Chain A
């Protein structure tokens, strides 16, 4: 079945460490997105990519980095510069026309 896979489901990180969250899709979608969600809040856009080898900052890109070397993959790195990284991270993709398909999310906790 086609879909988006995010891994791992839960991730723990020590302060000062970088960590990379995986997002893979087999839907042949051109566009991919990363969102952050804090408890009781809506989703906020971190980065998005409309095509391979190109991506743009969203509203809260500071402390994060991405790459889009393959159409299927859009990994997100949470760097040590992100001061409050504990959150629920959601990846999505779309054809560029219409709605999104979301992954099941990665819950990152800084310990």
Chain B
């Protein structure tokens, strides 16, 4: 079973920051937080992952709370091409099995 809780949908204006929340209150000490997104009828695409510290790459930033029970994925300047379902996954790093919930459908509007 998925170990995360995400809102089913969110809207964001084009050019604004999109902040996608994820609750993972039962996360254990050796589990990472991963974010993927899936554009309609395609395979999921890796975005970012982290353990404790905040992370940033060319696609997004990941903010993890100090108690690690929740996190936020930030797309700093959302574009129409960022419209997708975003999945937050909690998993161990070694030979992990990913359990996908229903994710958050992000609608970026002009």
Cβ–Cβ < 8 Å partners of B95 in chain A: 31, 50, 96
Residue A44 CB within 8 A of the other chain: yes
Say yes or no: A42 contacts B100, CB within 8 Å.
Answer: yes
Kindly list the 7 A-B residue pairs having the minimum CB-CB distance in the complex, ordered from nearest. A102-B43, A42-B100, A43-B100, A96-B95, A99-B46, A42-B102, A102-B44
Nearest CB in chain A: distance from B97 CB, A: 6
Which single residue of chain B is at the shortest CB-CB distance from A42? B100
| Cα A42 to Cα B97 with chains together (Å) | 14
Say how far B5's CB is from chain A's closest CB, in angstroms.
12
Q: How far is the CB of A42 from chain B (nearest CB, A)?
A: 4
- Report the minimal beta-carbon distance from A55 to chain B, rounded to whole angstroms: 12
Contact of B42 among A96, A97, A104 (CB under 8 A): A104
- CB contacts (< 8 Å) of B100 on chain A: these are 35, 42-44
How many chain B residues touch the partner (CB < 8 A)?
A: 23
Interface 1/0 per residue, A91-111 and B, CB below 8 Å = 010101111111111010000
Contact B43 A104 (CB under 8 A): yes
Give chain B's interface residues, CB within 8 Å of chain A: 2, 32, 34, 36, 41-46, 49, 87, 93-103
Interface size on A, residues (CB 8 A): 28
Which one of B34, B43, B97 has the greatest number of beta carbons of chain A within 10 Å?
B43
Shortest CB distance A109–B (Å): 13
Expressed in whole angstroms, the Cα–Cα distance for A94 and B32 within the complex equals 15
A42 pairs with B34, CB closer than 8 A:
no
